Structure 1
Amino acid sequence: MFFHVQRMINEIVADEPDPAAANALQEGLGGQFGEMRTMMQYLFQSFNFRGPTGKPFRDLLYGIGTEEIGHVELIATTIARLVDGSPRYQGSATDPLDTPGAGGANPLEMALSTGNIHHYLVGAQGALPVDAVGNPWSGSYVYNSGNLPLDLLYNLMLESTGRLQKCRIYEMTQNKTARSTVAYLIVRDQAHENAYAKALEALGVDWGKLLPIPKTNAEKFPEVKTLLDQGLQSKQYTFSLDQLSEAGRIFQGDSPSKDGTELTTEQAPVGVPYDIAAERPEEFGPGLDADLLALVQATAEMEMATAPGAWGPVSS
């Protein structure tokens, strides 16, 4: 079972809207090496896992796959903020990146000149399950051979390629909103590189000086350096509510990245609070008139008056 905590896995820094950066981030969400692919690949490998003696490996896959759900939420929310052009947004009227909402202008007037018209025409200024050129995400991306060493090798390649692409996206934009999310994913991809490298080390593979991939000299990215200084590249989460995960048997010892850090495991990150975005009247969303709002409020009051549920077995 999975549980949802209503906190974002990392802070999204506020900045001006930037539809072009949003479209670049679509590759990191719905591309062949994006977060939707890592989420589905690791979870399906977990669901299909065979061999009770390999439980620490399965638990490692489960932990990383569950974290990737949070990454999908993070990057999708970031894209939504970058294409946010509500007339209620009152930014700098002279900033070209602020054209969608400057002075209360209707953002749909400029949708024809943005990187992905579907962000406005189909997605109501939100993220889409597509790559940067609009190709739909495909389940055929998911690799699950059933052979543990082969799957781990493939996963390491997937994390390395995703990290490479995110380093490129970071260089493409100065937008603080985009960079705050991309920097976090660069560091967490390195943590996952370390996880799969450590798992392969347990199977006899010696990585030497290969990792991290790519060799980014990440300290030149200030947002990345801040996270590296916190040791986030050497920490893995289990997301195990019942504390039965055995992933820590693998994710321990010296980091395969040879950066002088020790690998550690935690149940879950603390996360940060987040707010639901404002309505988008120009997109006719969410479309709640006075009568519907009254019905929503009445329904909420009725549901709150019922006995709250609790996780666990039903008592007799």
Structure 2
Amino acid sequence: MYFHAQTWINEIADGEPDPAAANALQEGLGGQFGEMRTMMQYLFQAMNFRGPAAKPYRDLIQGVGTEEISHVELIGTTISRLLDGSPEYTGKLTDPLDTPGAGGATPLNIALDSGNIHHYLVGAQGALPVDSVGNPWSGSYVYNSGNLPLDLLYNVMLESTGRLQKCRIYEMTDNAVARGTLAYLIVRDQAHENAYAKALESLGVNWNKLLPIPKTNAESFPEVKKLLDLGLQSKQYSFDLDGESEAGKIFRGPSPSNDGTELSATEQAPPGVPSTISPERLEEFSPGLDADLLELIQATAELELDEIQSYYGPTSSSS
């Protein structure tokens, strides 16, 4: 089972909208080496895993896959934040929707000359399950051979390539919102490189000398250095409410990144940060709950409550 906490795994920085940066981040979400790929690949490998004696490896893959669900949420929400709001448009409920906003700006004019127009046409200024050129995410990206060393090798390659691409995207933009999320994912990708490299090492594969890939001076990115100083590249979470994960049997000892840190899998999950919901976007004709809709929802809720009470009697709130 999976449980959802009303928190993001990492803070999303405040900043200005940037549709071009949002579109570049789509590669890190729905591209061949993006977060949707890592999430699905590891979860399928864990679901299809065979061999009870190798449970620590299954638990490691499953823990990383569960974390990737939160990465999909983080990067998708960041894309939405980067698209949320058209410069100089300050629409109100009383404004005609075909009238230019403050400063003479047409509400969605930015969609015509920057980023991905589909973010505005079909996504209501939100993330899409596509790559940076609009190709839909494909299940054919998922690699699950059933052979443990092969899967682990492929997972190292996947994390390394994803980290490489995120480093490139970081260099493409100075937007604080994009860079904050990219830095976190760059460091966590390195942690996952370490996880799979350590698993290979435990199988006798001398892989650790190659890591990290890419061999960048990550400390030159200030947001990355802050996280590295916290040792985030050397932690792995179990996301296991029952305390039965055996991933710590593998994720321990000196880091394969050769950075002098020790690997630790003692934490169930990171603390997270409060999540927020963006305001409604009138120019996208997605105004949320208007008065009529709220009245309909209330009436429906009352009907459902009456039906429940007819079966089980009055609820505590109505008695």
Corresponding position of 2:212: 212
SS of 2:274's equivalent? coil
Which string of whole-angstrom CA distances, capped at 9 and with x for unpartnered residues, describes residues 134-161 of structure 1? 0000000000000000000000000000
- Partner Cα distance (1:195, 1:19) in 2: 34
- Aligned-partner residue type, residue 12 of structure 1: I
Corresponding position of 2:187: 187
SS of 2:26's equivalent? helix
- Aligned-partner residue type, residue 281 of structure 1: L
Corresponding position of 1:22: 22
- Partner Cα distance (1:62, 1:174) in 2: 34
Corresponding position of 2:156: 156
| 1:228 maps onto 2:228 in alignment | yes
- Aligned-partner residue type, residue 279 of structure 1: E
- Aligned-partner residue type, residue 43 of structure 1: L
- Partner Cα distance (2:164, 2:119) in 1: 25
Structure 1 runs (4+) greater than 2 angstroms displaced: 86-90, 100-107, 286-289, 294-307
Kindly report which structure 2 residues correspond to 1:75-114, keeping only aligned pairs within 5 A, or say none: 75-85=75-85, 103=103, 105-114=105-114
- Partner Cα distance (1:109, 1:181) in 2: 27
Corresponding position of 1:310: none
- Aligned-partner residue type, residue 268 of structure 1: A
> Does the CA-based 8 Å contact 1:86-1:101 persist in structure 2?
no
Alpha-carbon spacing, 1:282–1:87, altered in 2? closer, same or farther (3 Å): farther
User: Which sections of structure 2, spanning at least 5 residues, go unmatched?
Assistant: 91-99, 310-319
- Partner Cα distance (2:12, 2:304) in 1: 32
Deviation at 1:294, TM superposition (A): 2.8
Corresponding position of 1:290: 291
Corresponding position of 1:95: none
User: Which sections of structure 1, spanning at least 5 residues, go unmatched?
Assistant: 91-99, 308-316
- Partner Cα distance (2:231, 2:28) in 1: 23
| 1:57 maps onto 2:54 in alignment | no
- Partner Cα distance (1:175, 1:144) in 2: 36
Corresponding position of 2:274: 273
> Does the CA-based 8 Å contact 2:86-2:110 persist in structure 1?
no
Alpha-carbon spacing, 1:154–1:304, altered in 2? closer, same or farther (3 Å): farther
Corresponding position of 1:40: 40
Deviation at 1:107, TM superposition (A): 3.1
RMSD of aligned alpha carbons? 2.2
Kindly report which structure 2 residues correspond to 1:255-266, keeping only aligned pairs within 5 A, or say none: 255-265=255-265, 266=267
- Aligned-partner residue type, residue 215 of structure 1: K
SS of 1:219's equivalent? helix
Computing the radius of gyration from Cα coordinates, the structure with the larger value is 2
> Does the CA-based 8 Å contact 1:87-1:101 persist in structure 2?
no
**Number of residues paired by the alignment?**
298
Alpha-carbon spacing, 1:270–1:208, altered in 2? closer, same or farther (3 Å): closer
- Partner Cα distance (2:43, 2:104) in 1: 44
> Does the CA-based 8 Å contact 2:11-2:273 persist in structure 1?
yes
- Aligned-partner residue type, residue 294 of structure 2: L
Deviation at 1:296, TM superposition (A): 3.3
- Aligned-partner residue type, residue 10 of structure 1: N
